[in-house]
Copies of this chain bind each other. A is one copy, B any other.
């Protein structure tokens, strides 16, 4: 069968692709293991570093229904919907965020609806759906109350994936992912970009700017565990979800100050000193509206996993992305 990954040329998409290429099979729409014949990456740019005869790219605008009809067809057994306009950009460009995060998600679900066998579809949602007055630990039944455009758009996407699943148009699974840290590469327009930058840049010998207060509590997941969990979500038998399609994935709860302390423990005081505190009120407001932790009992019972602590997250980043530093 064919696997479609939206946002497939992004960091998580490429990493998921490499992981899927190592697997002999993935569960198909009929619930049985099927060989992965082809992985199609749908994104605004081509993936640069994936040379495998099974991987193909479709480059274009996800919100274009004609492109989606081309990308989703009778051979599509499985979809990972990772494409999104990130939080900072969705706040700055409202119409763009609505078009990609809401309209394209709905168009993708509509494309699934045309298929005879509803494909499995894993939708990456976010900590940003929560906001407002929050309990110390968010639970599965805590109301979403997003305080950013990105959060609103993801919350609408969650409702759509759940409803299209209830209707039998798709077999959807919504993963509420903690903030992913440490991402390699360059900063992006996510309000949470600093949560990678304050580790990545200092390890590169550069200044890492932190735009939020040291006491701000964040809820983190490593890219390794994010990829594992996307696959766990895909492989879950639908009856195990008991009508509730949204899963709050395990994370690590730390303050930003504790992140820097962990960096010092793992990489030394010289590296940790490269973190520069420079408050950005817009970023601080958005990040502070997110929960610093949630209860992941249900997710763990379903087989989802998190990281041990932030030290382990930094070590995993060094192993995966900076092996020379580790040596």
Which positions in A face B, CB cutoff 8 Å? 94, 132-133, 135, 140-147, 149, 152, 155-156, 159-160, 162-163, 166-167, 243-244
Instruction: Please measure, in the bound complex, the distance between the C-alpha atom of A132 and the C-alpha atom of B242, giving whole angstroms.
Output: 10
| Contact A244 B149, CB 8 Å, known A156-B159, A159-B156 | no
27 A–B contact pairs at CB < 8 A?
A94-B167, A132-B243, A132-B244, A133-B141, A135-B141, A140-B143, A141-B142, A141-B143, A142-B143, A143-B144, A144-B144, A145-B244, A146-B159, A146-B163, A147-B166, A147-B243, A149-B163, A149-B167, A152-B159, A152-B160, A152-B162, A152-B163, A155-B159, A156-B156, A156-B159, A156-B160, A159-B159
When distances are taken between beta carbons in the complex, the residues of chain B under 8 Å from A163 are 146, 149, 152
Instruction: Please measure, in the bound complex, the distance between the C-alpha atom of A250 and the C-alpha atom of B140, giving whole angstroms.
Output: 25
Instruction: Please measure, in the bound complex, the distance between the C-alpha atom of A239 and the C-alpha atom of B301, giving whole angstroms.
Output: 42
Instruction: Please measure, in the bound complex, the distance between the C-alpha atom of A267 and the C-alpha atom of B132, giving whole angstroms.
Output: 47
When distances are taken between beta carbons in the complex, the residues of chain B under 8 Å from A133 are 141
When distances are taken between beta carbons in the complex, the residues of chain B under 8 Å from A167 are 94, 149
Q: What 3 pairs between A and B have smallest CB-CB spacing? A: A152-B163, A143-B143, A141-B143
Specify the chain B residue showing the minimal Cβ separation from A145: B244
Instruction: Please measure, in the bound complex, the distance between the C-alpha atom of A133 and the C-alpha atom of B140, giving whole angstroms.
Output: 11
Specify the chain B residue showing the minimal Cβ separation from A243: B132
Specify the chain B residue showing the minimal Cβ separation from A129: B159
Specify the chain B residue showing the minimal Cβ separation from A141: B143
Instruction: Please measure, in the bound complex, the distance between the C-alpha atom of A162 and the C-alpha atom of B132, giving whole angstroms.
Output: 12
Closest CB-CB distance, A266 to chain B, in whole Å?
37
When distances are taken between beta carbons in the complex, the residues of chain B under 8 Å from A140 are 143
Q: Besides A132-B244, A149-B163, A152-B159, 11 other CB < 8 A contacts?
A: A94-B167, A132-B243, A133-B141, A135-B141, A141-B143, A142-B143, A145-B244, A146-B163, A147-B166, A147-B243, A152-B162
Closest CB-CB distance, A255 to chain B, in whole Å?
24
Closest CB-CB distance, A292 to chain B, in whole Å?
17
Instruction: Please measure, in the bound complex, the distance between the C-alpha atom of A35 and the C-alpha atom of B149, giving whole angstroms.
Output: 35
Instruction: Please measure, in the bound complex, the distance between the C-alpha atom of A152 and the C-alpha atom of B79, giving whole angstroms.
Output: 23
Instruction: Please measure, in the bound complex, the distance between the C-alpha atom of A244 and the C-alpha atom of B159, giving whole angstroms.
Output: 20
When distances are taken between beta carbons in the complex, the residues of chain B under 8 Å from A162 are 152
Instruction: Please measure, in the bound complex, the distance between the C-alpha atom of A135 and the C-alpha atom of B141, giving whole angstroms.
Output: 9
When distances are taken between beta carbons in the complex, the residues of chain B under 8 Å from A147 are 166, 243
Instruction: Please measure, in the bound complex, the distance between the C-alpha atom of A167 and the C-alpha atom of B152, giving whole angstroms.
Output: 12
Instruction: Please measure, in the bound complex, the distance between the C-alpha atom of A149 and the C-alpha atom of B159, giving whole angstroms.
Output: 10
